[in-house]
Structure 1
Amino acid sequence: MPETPGHRLTQLGQHAAVPATPAEAVLETIANADPEAFFVVRLTCPEFTTLCPVTGQPDFAHLVIDYLPHQRLVESKSFKLFLHSFRDVGGFHESTTLAIAAKIRAAAEPRWLRIGGYWFPRGGIPIDVFYQTGAPPAGLWLPEQAVPPYRGR
């Protein structure tokens, strides 16, 4: 398995089961080859799914996550498995969006992070949830998230 100093990857390059819950998911990281560089990493999941905690019905969101890395980068396979672990778990839009941000912060310790959770309507009302760790650092080129607001059919 690939390794970086102090970190052993356990999911990349081999079969890895989807964790039963987000709490059980291990969000792995890899070393940033240039930790002093000033660049944004964007993680996008246009088909995120979880369950309504009250009805058990599926909820869907388009997630756009931007972060300014420091020493570590989020490893994409473990990120995919982490997101997949929400599929059978109930959670409100707000708490789910914030839980994803918290897991990224804890694992990768980015210098800055923002997440846009663009949730599809529940009960006819779309709910969008936005979080960031603070103002974007001066000089950071930051593209728009460019997710159009929900428009009925």
Structure 2
Amino acid sequence: MTDPLRHLGQASPLPASPEAAVLDYPPNPHPGVPYLVRFTCPEFTSLCPVTGQPDFAHLVIDYVPDARIVESKSLKLFLGSFRNHAGFHEAVTVGIGRRLAEEMAPAWLRIGGYWYPRGGIPIDVFWQTGAPPAGLWVPDQGVPPYRGRG
């Protein structure tokens, strides 16, 4: 590996903010092979920027690695750093996707943010870097639309 792993196998405290979080990107073990990696975070939390109340989401991050992959513990710490971060659903979801895309430079990335209701309205936010590579199997993200009690 060319980049040191700063979290794996070590005690790593939760970063104070998403900006302070450091993500680790080891080399792709299968360069040149188009394959899909999926991370699912069903208990993601951040804060409403107006009320300061917690917001909850089910995040699904799909990406096709190029030269590097994202190390899962560093991603977990990055996502956990949003617990005390205030941001609208759109800013948080797209911000996570853009940071991963800019730093990791994957062949393709998409993120689905399935936010639980705020004010009685669920908000789903989706972002991707472009069209997925030709011939790649991209399964549905598997998160059903919010149905409530009706």
Q: What is the TM-score normalised by the length of structure 2?
A: 0.97
Moved over 6 A (4+): none
Task: Render the CA deviation track for 1:14-44: whole Å, top value 9, x for unaligned.
Answer: 1011111001101111111111011000011
Task: Render the CA deviation track for 1:54-93: whole Å, top value 9, x for unaligned.
Answer: 0000000000110010110110000000000000110000
- Cα drift, residue 128 of structure 1: 0.2
1:137 — aligned with what? 133
Q: Which runs of 5+ in 2 are unaligned?
A: none
Matched, 1:68 2:64: yes
> What is the SS of the residue equivalent to 2:83?
coil
Superposition RMSD in Å: 0.7
Matched, 1:27 2:23: yes
Matched, 1:46 2:77: no
How many percent identity over aligned positions?
A: 64
CA–CA separation in structure 1 for the residues paired with 2:134 and 2:7:
36
Confirm or deny: 8 A CA contact 2:101 2:129 kept in the other structure: no
1:55 — aligned with what? 51
* Correspondence list, 1:4-153, <5 A: 4-5=1-2, 7-153=3-149
- Cα drift, residue 106 of structure 1: 2.3
Q: What is the TM-score normalised by the length of structure 1?
A: 0.95
